Structure formats: structure tokens, C-alpha cells
A and B are shown apart, each in its own frame.
Chain A
């Protein structure tokens, strides 16, 4: 037994104290056990037409694990850096008109908020039907005057003028705090949204393409069909209007069909069917670049097969006086067709369209 004793001790020590590899590491907070519910601004900058009388800023929960907690959340905010805007409770001032959320496609709910001289709180509480809303919109009241004309009351945006402005009205919306009994509910580090009112006398407005001449429509169809399977199937007789809408860094080409469909929220109300191309755009010094993506459809099953990015380069000129926009498209390429393989390229303009302000 003495031998055993003498032997077991060193064996035990050798086993017990054998150094293993370095195990130290900083454990990241667990995605599930320490999961967060992070509210964030949908964008940190944006803007709308000067003719608009409100603007909606979306605040939403980032993707999360599990279910949203029901704990009440109170956001503190303030409107700062207002330039051109007068902050106040009046219609002709900048303020918060309402805070709304979507219950379903046809119904909205409202969240309680306070507004006091550009500061206030928004209380986010669960809805009886959908629980805690996944997202909500802060609706800013952009200054307007109420005009009564022909017996009808209309809101007339006070910044809606006919001149090109050098400086644009702007403001910032800053979330200054978040409080909740649930510590897992936090706000994203980006807390400020910067708003800028767009100028209708630049490209940022809605333009209509006159297609009374079928040749114009055919040219339009030829120019954009490579990046839109829907456009390529359009028939002249089925089209009522083609509109180019340039918003804050984003644009859409919308084609309104003659055919109408019933509004899903209001029975008996019919709206024209629209097809569209969306893209981000940059317009500077007469050069216009659209960047977007489109689906390529499978020939056999007709389902989307691939999503490809495209770039459209054009020149443009605006006549403020005539309220026209001339777009001269030089090239169209996508991920599979660029360089020598571009859909088309002509530095002198492959296609040219004259649009009229809507």
C-alpha cells in the first residue's frame, strides 16, 4: 500500500495540474439569454416635397428573438436645429401631428405622445389586437395654411413656391432617452433623424411623360424593358399615365394602367393598377444616375430566378419656366451586361424623354 500511496499521489498531481490550452476569452453577451429589443430609426435622414403638409418617420424594432415584451416604453425626444421651420403647436408650425401604428393593412392605431415646445415623449404600449407594435410612425406636421376655395377646404403648404431656393428648411428629430421597466428594451446608438424639405424646382418632384404619341411610349418601353419584365409586356392601349417621382435620394417610375382594381380597404372604391421601377438616384450638374435592382424570371416556371443590380446613366435638364424635365439616357447596364455587353450605350443619348411637372 505504501507503494500505491507513493505512486497515486504523483499520478493524481500530474493529472490534476496538467496545464491545458489557454481557456481565457471574453464571453459575448448571449444572443438569447441577454437578448435585446432594440428600437431604431428607419432612416437617419430624409425629406419630402415642399407641397406636402406632413412627413412620416418610422421607428421600428430591430429583428429580435422570441416575442416583444409588453412593458410600456417611453421615448423622450426633441426637435432641434430647425432652420426655416417655426416650432410650435399651430398648423403653420412644425410639430408632431400624431404617432400611429399599423394594426392591419386597413387599420391604424394611435400612440400617446406629448409635445411641448419641440420636446416631449411618446408612449409605446401594447395594442389590444396585435400586442406591442413592431413599428410606428411619427407624423410631423409640416407648416401649412388652410385655404378655402370653391367651397372646399384645402391645406396649402407654406413652403410650396415657384422659385428655386438656395437653402432648404430643415430640422432634426432626436430621441433623447428611453425608459422602460424592461432593461432589455434599448434604443439604437443612432438617435437623430435629419429632415430636409425638397425643392420642387429641382428634379425632386413628380414628372409626367406625355405618351400621347405612341412612339414616345415605344421608346420608353424599349429603354426600360431590359430591367423590368413587367414593362416589357406593356401594351400602349392599356396605359393611362407614366410618371417619374423623384423623392429624397429615391425615385420611382410608375405606370398607371387603364385597368383598375378594387381598394382592399374600401369596398366599391377602385384604383388604377400601377407597375413600377424603383431606384436610388443621384442628380448633380446635369448628370443623373439611377441604381436599382430587378428580378429575372425563369423561362419555364415564370417565377423569379435571380435579382440583378442595374445602373442607368443619363443627362438631364430642367426648365423651371416651362416646368419640363428632359432626360437623355446614355446607357443601361446590369451585373451580367456591362462593358461591351451593355444593354445599350450611346454618349450622345440612346433615348431622350421630355417630362412635364405634374
Chain B
């Protein structure tokens, strides 16, 4: 009997140990807790890393490590000649994840796609409002102007979906690769609605993505397992763990100690230490972002382009960037869009440092005082608004312009700053959503964005015509030309001082392969492998 027991124990131990040795676990030290796991309802990059990029897939996807759109759940699609009708053909036999809280009885079909979008705007859909979760705002769906452009979603047959637009909108395709456009399971939603547990939809996600949700310990650990039915093939790692670690220094210490395999956003001050370490690699990429400073182009003398150019020329941009970004580095911005984005115009150069020339123009224009706005928040495109303001203030003082620094807390800062009659120069920036140039040009400088996100209150007819035409054109080569011209107009008119595109970093242990920096600022774990 004793022998038998000992044998059983040994067997058990062997199986447990064996199980541990076989399971490949990748640990990601994420920077914050996700608000929830329904990407339609959240807005943070950390929310999306934990939900849409792990659990879900979309009709179209962004190329891994790039901004080009490629097939996702839709194998192919057609766009009608007038640019109004998009027909998507779904990949056959895509399975939703099977977990201990949901067993799908059918494959993904057009109903799921229609439902995924319908719930975000149709007030009659029970998942649109309080019945699902209190105070839903669907920020990204409205933020990307989807209600304005989408006329209807229709099921043609099980594997064909038709999207009709109200007017041509070329960036739509890129929008459908964004996180809010993740495809959810209608069958799962129906089950939860019937059992009266609708809120579970946001805490126990079911999708068609590379990893399936296992468990979330609030503010601490999220666990996923590779989805065995993933339509692009099972992932090489078996388990994916997010260890939520908000402090940047602790995060880096964890990678160095081997407690996690990948960590994002190191402190600039730690970059040197990381580079010197043998066990880890520091990965970087020019971020899909821009730091800039908007002049209110409606208030004299800032309404004159030559005055705005002169203010730009007075700033020693190189020293400014060095002092702000330090070891982390940043690419000086020549255009509003970063060089990693298609249609970036290589012939356009921003104003060179020339305080003497600036001094003359500014004296002639009679500009002696200006407001210079700064906020308290660290942004990827500007780590220190206040420091930047002080340096620019010093530069401007040298050309006879006295800058008064205006400070506000971040949300108040933006709500005050976007007012049409806000005076002076306003430091701000942008991180791209979908890799489409429209997402920079139109979002930040379209006439319709005045009072929302056009902090320069700038409405230039030439620029507006170009970007609106580009928005309505489906052909990418033609769009590229239009955007290139728009960048020339932008440089001539100088509605803003362009600072830089910052670098984005991640620290990765040497035995991890296949992890790529993503220009969209997301963290993806499909295709990642780990050597023991």
C-alpha cells in the first residue's frame, strides 16, 4: 500500500513538473490595469493591449510592426467605384474561443460583425446602454466620426457583410482595423442577455484572437492561454501573463531580474543602464506621434504667417529636443506626420534656427508679449511641457518677445486651450490611432476641428481642399500626392511650431523572439516565442 502511494505521489509530482516544463509562459509587465475587457467601451492603450490585441480580431488588421492594412477576419473586400459601399468576405470556419464560461455552437458569421458595430450606435440595441453597463459613452466610435459616415451595416449571407457610407471616406478601412472595431460574439452576448449577466461581457471576454482569457485578479495579474482554434494557427507560447506594474523603475527591475520577459515605457533616465545589460535588448521605434505648439492664427499679429515663421525660427529646436528627451532621443519633426507614415513629404523642411532674421520680423510686427501654455502631464510626445515652455521662453526673450507661461491641469488645459479665442502659443501633441494621414491632418487641422482639436483655430482653404479630397479618394497613390501637397501648404502657412516625434521603447529579454515594436503604440504577442 505504502509503495503504491509513493508511486502515485511520484507520478503526480512528475506530471506536475512535466506540465510546468512543457508550458511556455510569456510574462508581460504592463503599465496599468485595464478598465475592462470590452474594447468598444475603453480608450487607453493598456486597455487595448489587454483586450483587443490579445482576445479579439477585426475585419482588417494592421501589418505587424507597420501601419498598412491587411486582411483579418475578412479575407478580401471590394469598394464600390463611388467609394460608398464596402463588401467584406469573411474567412470561413473561424471559431470563437471555448472557455469554461462559454462554449460556442457555431462559427463566426456576418451576424457577429453587424452586432459588433450595431451595439455601438443603435440606441435600440440592448447592449448600447445602461442595461449592459452604466454610463457607456462609446468614445472611440464617436471620436472617429463613425456615426457621421456609416449609413448601415448589412448581412448579405453568412460570410458576406456590406457596409454603406453616407459619403466617401477613405480612412474608413483603417478605422476598421482599430481596437474599437474588434468583432465580438453575438451568440455569447445573447446567452448573457438571457441569463441576466450582461456585465460579464466586459469582464470575461470571448473573441477570435490569438489568446483566450483565463483569469483577471483585479489590479494585479491577467492570465491568457493560447487559443487552440486560432484561425491563423495556434501561438508558440502556451500561456501569456500580464503582471501589472505601474512604476517604471520597478518594471525595468522586473525584466532585469527575469520576473518578466517584456516591459514597455522605461524611464529615460534608465535607458543607459538597460543598454549596458547583457540579458535584455532595448527596442525602439519612432512613435506615431507629434509634439507641436499651436499658434492661434486668428489673433493679430499671429494671423500673419511670417510672424509665426519668425517665432519658429527663434527657437533653438535642437537644444530643446536634447534637453527634453535626453537619452531617450526624438526625431526632429519636419512635417506633421512622422517619417514612418506613408505620404510623408521628404522635401519639406521645417524652419531653421535663425534668431537674427526672426528678431527683425518680430520687431516689425510689433510682437513683444505672448502667452505660452504648459501643462503638468507627461506625454509621449513631450515629457515636460513646463521645461519646454521655460526653454522657449528664454529663446524668445533673446529676440525681444516676452513670454508669459500659462499653466493648467491637463484636462482643464485642453478644454481652455481649444477655445477659439485662446491667445498665444499652446503646446500639445498627438498619437495616431490608425496610421492613416487623415488621422493627423484632418483631426488636428481641419476647419471642422476648430473648437475641438484644432488648437490653432486655423482654417486654410488650400489645405482644407487637399485633405478633404484625399479623404474621399480611395486610390492610395493619389491620396499620397494630395497629402504631400498639403504638407507643403502647412509648412508655408506654419500654423504651429513642430517639435519632434518621440521614440517609443520596450525592454525585452534576450531569449524572447518575434516581439516587434508597433508604430501604433500597441503591444502584440502573436508571433512571439521564448527560448527556455
**Genuine A/B complex:** no
